[in-house]
Structure 1
Amino acid sequence: MFTGIVEERGEITARDDLTEAARFRIRGPLVTSDASFGDSIAVNGVCLTVTELTDDEFTVDVMAETLRRSSLDRLGPGASVNLERAMAAGGRFGGHIVQGHVDGVGVIVSVSPSENWTVVRIGIPEQLARYIVEKGSITVDGISLTVSSVGVDREYGDWFEVSLIPTTLSETNLSGARAGVRVNLEVDVIAKYVERLTGAGRLATSGVEGSEPNE
């Protein structure tokens, strides 16, 4: 379990493509400072298991299913990634409930900077739109953010916006946000449970993971 409060911006230092999998080595001095074999670390919002530790780096194995359903498939050496250790039971709950299970991949539509914040619009798979509400929580590449606006248009289909303060930009990989970049999305799990318990989920399209935004 995670909270979506990024602890460190790490860097992929190596990638080995294996049969139906990939192995990443990632530099992250903070998250490795007390890590052990088998620990969970969220990498761009994807919960992964530590398989090796060397100095300030850790290694994770990513199966083909995870590569297919997330943006990790396009990352290689030099890529900046958001890192968060699993939440400690006695720690502060600074963000919201984040499982590290990607529900879909969005695409950044536009980035609109201003003096004190930057608005990022993200196109989303149609099946995820019902879970995203204005002022609700959303996880973007492992970052817990508040939705500032939602909408739909002919060109991009469903979209939502988040307003980023300078600290969020400087401490996460969204500092390099630009149109066309793919990002991992995890919607608020509470919304999915409510839908299921009320029976609404029976009428909704199943298998939202890995869906692409509308063209």
Structure 2
Amino acid sequence: MFTGIVEEIGEVVAVEFGSESARLTVRGPVVVSDAVHGASIAVDGVCLTVVDQPEPGTFTVDVMQESLQRSSLHDVAPGRRVNLERAMAAHGRLGGHIVQGHVDGTGTLVARTPGEAWEVVRFAIPADLARYVVEKGSITIDGTSLTVSGVSAPGVDEPWLEVSLIPATLELTVLGTKGPGAQVNLEVDVLAKYVERLNAFDRIGAGA
């Protein structure tokens, strides 16, 4: 479990692709400082398991086909900067919102609008995820917990959402450097998915 509060920007230093998987080595001295074999670290919002620490300040993870298909890690390459967060400690503060590290799909950055001390950033999102996104609700973008500041109307052909990024977010996450066309990982609020699932079962029961 994570909170969506990025601890540091890391760098992918090595990638090995298999036929249906990948192995990444990432430099992240903060998140690896107390890591052990089997520890969970979110890489751009994808929960991955530490399988090795080849050099001081680095860690290696395996990425299965499901994660490659659903996330932007399918085309990851050495030199890529990534958001990193360790799993939340049981005694820690929930500074963002409940983040599982289970990416639902990807979106595309389409526009950045600078403000006085922030930027409004718009992302195109898949239609099947749009129903889970509400204004002032929570969304995880590349592992960053954010509040939705704008959302397209229901049923539009090209749904989108907007977030407003404060200077700290622009400086301390990879979202500060991504331009139009960049792909991002999306995790919608898990509570919305549970509500939808429960309602579906309620309808089935009522029909019976």
How high is the TM-score relative to the length of structure 2? 0.93
- Shift of residue 115, structure 1, vs aligned partner: 2.4
Larger mean CA deviation between 11-20 and 191-200 belongs to 191-200
Distance 1:29 1:169, change over 3 A: same
Instruction: Find out whether 1:94 has 2:95 as its counterpart.
Output: yes
**Secondary structure class of the residue paired with 2:169:** helix
- Superposed CA RMSD in Å reads 1.9
The AA in structure 2 aligned to 1:116 is A
Residues 75-86 of structure 1 correspond to what in structure 2 (within 5 A)?
75-86=76-87
Counterpart position of 2:133: 132
Counterpart position of 2:38: 38
Counterpart position of 1:115: 116
Counterpart position of 1:105: 106
Counterpart position of 1:172: 173
Per-residue CA deviation, residues 14-38 of structure 1 (Å, 9 max, x unaligned), is 1111231111110000000000001
Aligned residues: 203
Runs of 4+ aligned structure 1 residues displaced above 4 Å come to 152-156, 200-203
Q: Distance in 1 between matches of 2:140 and 2:82?
A: 14
Distance 1:133 1:155, change over 3 A: closer
Instruction: Find out whether 1:12 has 2:12 as its counterpart.
Output: yes
Counterpart position of 1:58: 59
**Greater Rg by CA:** 2
- Shift of residue 154, structure 1, vs aligned partner: 11
- Shift of residue 117, structure 1, vs aligned partner: 0.4
Per-residue CA deviation, residues 18-60 of structure 1 (Å, 9 max, x unaligned), is 2311111100000000000010000000000001012100001
The AA in structure 2 aligned to 1:85 is R
Report the identity percentage. Answer: 61
CA contact (8 A) 1:117 1:163 kept: yes
- Shift of residue 66, structure 1, vs aligned partner: 1.1
- Shift of residue 74, structure 1, vs aligned partner: 1.8
How high is the TM-score relative to the length of structure 1? 0.90
CA contact (8 A) 2:15 2:22 kept: yes
Residues 126-165 of structure 1 correspond to what in structure 2 (within 5 A)?
126-151=127-152, 157-165=158-166
CA contact (8 A) 1:196 1:202 kept: no
Structure 2 portions without partners, runs of 5+: none
Distance 1:201 1:22, change over 3 A: farther
The AA in structure 1 aligned to 2:18 is L
- Shift of residue 87, structure 1, vs aligned partner: 0.4
- Shift of residue 114, structure 1, vs aligned partner: 2.1
- Shift of residue 62, structure 1, vs aligned partner: 0.8
**Secondary structure class of the residue paired with 1:32:** coil
- Shift of residue 201, structure 1, vs aligned partner: 9.7
CA contact (8 A) 2:131 2:154 kept: no
Q: Distance in 1 between matches of 2:92 and 2:123?
A: 31
**Secondary structure class of the residue paired with 1:199:** helix
Distance 1:19 1:33, change over 3 A: same
The AA in structure 2 aligned to 1:74 is D
